[in-house]
Amino acid sequence: MTETTQSVVARNGCGTESPSGFTELGVSPDLCASLGEAGIEEPFPIQALTIPDALSGLDVCGKAKTGSGKTIAFGIPLVQLTARAERRLPHSLVLVPTRELAVQVKRELTPHATRRDLRIATVYGGVSMADQIKALRRGVDILVATPGRLIDLIERREVSVAEVKILVLDEADQMSDMGFLPQVDRILRDIESKAQTMLFSATLDGMVGNLVRIHLRDPVHHEVESDSVTVEEMEHRFLHVHKMDKVKVLARVARAHDRVLVFVRTKIGADRLVRDLAAEGVQASGLHGGKHQTRREKTLESFMRGDTPVLVATDVAARGLHIEAIDVVVHYDPAEDSKTYLHRSGRTARAGETGLVVTLVLWDQVYAVKRLEKQIGVDAPIVEVFSTDDRLDDVRAVAGSLPEQTPPELTAGARRRAMRRKSRGRR
């Protein structure tokens, strides 16, 4: 299937002038009003580029990273074009990779759908099907779903996608990474009509490219370049910490910021760190796959409202999350590769804002972290710090060597080992 040669590139909002507001993009007055009530007055670049084509009924392929405003980019055309549907036969379908993203998409689109008296619902795994089935039986116009649960409901004959007229594939690259594309392909084969399709992804190569070629009809391509957001627009700090002082260093950093997202490798590690931070007087909540979905949603909502200042998350649980105004991302467990580092870190560099990223490094992780720096193109010193250093109250100030200190919290044995490592380093 051929693709249009049209390709519009905007570099972080520059290079292509955005219209002065959503009216010029073709958005209806009632939806412009609902956007204004949500505090959204001017379109982000990806919105300015894609909304007119989507409203024209064209298939759209948007390349932009999480946090660039993609939900409104597809959501406003979706709401404006969606018609009332019969029970169990949604008119519009949004496929997303994770439960958390499904909840976020519904939350962001609900005020606009309500303005049009449209019914919007979510279906995803990890919770009982009963309430989801009740919603489908009552009737849903816009359905936001994860692939696995949707297939379960299709096979139970509780929903059909046969009459879907508008399809959105959100975070297609993450669905590919998580192995969901065969399920997506299975769902798309059940759509009997030629649905207008909008696909949004951070990358368009590999299996995502195949998906575009097979299922999109002559799509218009729009791209918002964001390479600088992933590296240059972040400030990177690498702190060499000692194992017994590590939690105290994190607590000191956390107390200096309003909203901190901390990444760990395991579910057990997340729960342990939440308890350790509580012992230091820092309120934190954990987000990982071992928690019930309802608990995860409440945890995420509390963090997004600012009620909980620190969120400790595993990589899988945080996939696709769009959280605004994160002050600092902390790699409590250093990322294992450059892709993971950039994926984690990008949550503090949204819509052109400069982000702060801190990695805590133990003595036996130094060489691996230096290799990671080379992979991401960052040349930053790994600075040895202790929790007693006042510069941790402003981590951005930790840009070079700090005065050598030995915190009283360390045991005598730990102090001797620290001094031996410093001595070896001098030789």
Decide if 300 contacts 327 (C-beta within 8 A): no
Distance between terminal CA atoms of the chain? 64
Q: What is the pLDDT of residue 326?
A: 85
What percentage of the chain has pLDDT greater than the value 90?
54
pLDDT, one tens digit per residue, over 349-400 is 554 456 789 999 999 999 999 999 998 888 889 999 999 998 898 888 776 5
Q: What is the pLDDT of residue 358?
A: 95
Q: Which residue has the higher pLDDT, 294 or 124?
A: 124
Give the mean pLDDT of 297-325. Answer: 80
> Phi, psi at residue 48, to the nearest 5°?
-65, -35
CA distance linking residue 106 with residue 255, whole number of Å: 32
User: Other CB atoms closer than 10 Å to residue 340's CB: what's the count?
Assistant: 16
CA distances from 269 to 189, 273, 279 (A): 41, 6, 15
Q: What is the pLDDT of residue 20?
A: 44
pLDDT band at 324 (very low <50, low <70, confident <90, very high): low
Using the predicted structure, report yes or no on whether residue 190 has a pLDDT greater than 50: yes
pLDDT, one tens digit per residue, over 53-102 is 999 999 999 987 766 788 999 999 999 999 999 999 999 999 999 888 89
Decide if 360 contacts 239 (C-beta within 8 A): yes
CA distance linking residue 424 with residue 372, whole number of Å: 24
Strand partners, 355: 234
| Positions of E strands within 64-201 | 92-95, 120-123, 142-145, 166-169, 196-201
Name residues whose C-beta falls within 8 Å of residue 109's C-beta, 6 or more positions apart in sequence. 71, 75, 78, 79, 120, 142, 144
What percentage of the chain has pLDDT greater than the value 70?
82
Q: Tokens in use for 263? A: 């990444």
Residue burial 387-399, b: 16+ Cβ < 10 Å; e: rest: bebeebeebeebe
CA distance linking residue 388 with residue 245, whole number of Å: 10
- Please give the helix or strand (H or E) that residue 234 lies within, else none: strand 234-240
pLDDT, one tens digit per residue, over 123-144 is 999 888 999 999 999 999 999 9
Decide if 88 contacts 111 (C-beta within 8 A): no
Percent composition of the chain: helix, strand, coil (DSSP 3-state, to 5): 45, 20, 40
| Nearest of 51, 57, 13 to residue 31 by alpha carbon | 51
Give the mean pLDDT of 270-278. Answer: 95
Radius of gyration in angstroms for the set of CA atoms belonging to the chain, rounded to a whole number? 23
Question: Are domains 7-225 and 229-426 of this chain identical in fold?
Answer: yes
Q: What is the pLDDT of residue 404?
A: 43
Q: What is the pLDDT of residue 123?
A: 96
Tell me, which fold does domain 229-426 have in CATH?
Rossmann fold (3.40.50)
Decide if 62 contacts 10 (C-beta within 8 A): no
- Please give the helix or strand (H or E) that residue 127 lies within, else none: none
Q: Which residue has the higher pLDDT, 141 or 16?
A: 141
Q: What is the pLDDT of residue 350?
A: 52
Using the predicted structure, report yes or no on whether residue 274 has a pLDDT greater than 90: yes
pLDDT, one tens digit per residue, over 18-30 is 334 899 999 999 9
> Phi, psi at residue 174, to the nearest 5°?
-70, -35
Domain coordinates of the chain in residue numbers? 7-225, 229-426
CA dihedral 168, 171, 173, 175 (to 10 degrees): -80
What's domain 7-225's architecture?
3-Layer(aba) Sandwich (3.40)
pLDDT band at 13 (very low <50, low <70, confident <90, very high): very low
Q: Tokens in use for 27? A: 């958005």
Using the predicted structure, report yes or no on whether residue 7 has a pLDDT greater than 70: no
> Phi, psi at residue 28, to the nearest 5°?
-65, 155
Q: What is the pLDDT of residue 396?
A: 83
Q: Tokens in use for 387? A: 């929790």
Decide if 142 contacts 90 (C-beta within 8 A): yes
Angle in degrees, CA 281, 287, 291, rounded to 5? 115
CA distance linking residue 41 with residue 49, whole number of Å: 16
Q: What is the pLDDT of residue 351?
A: 46
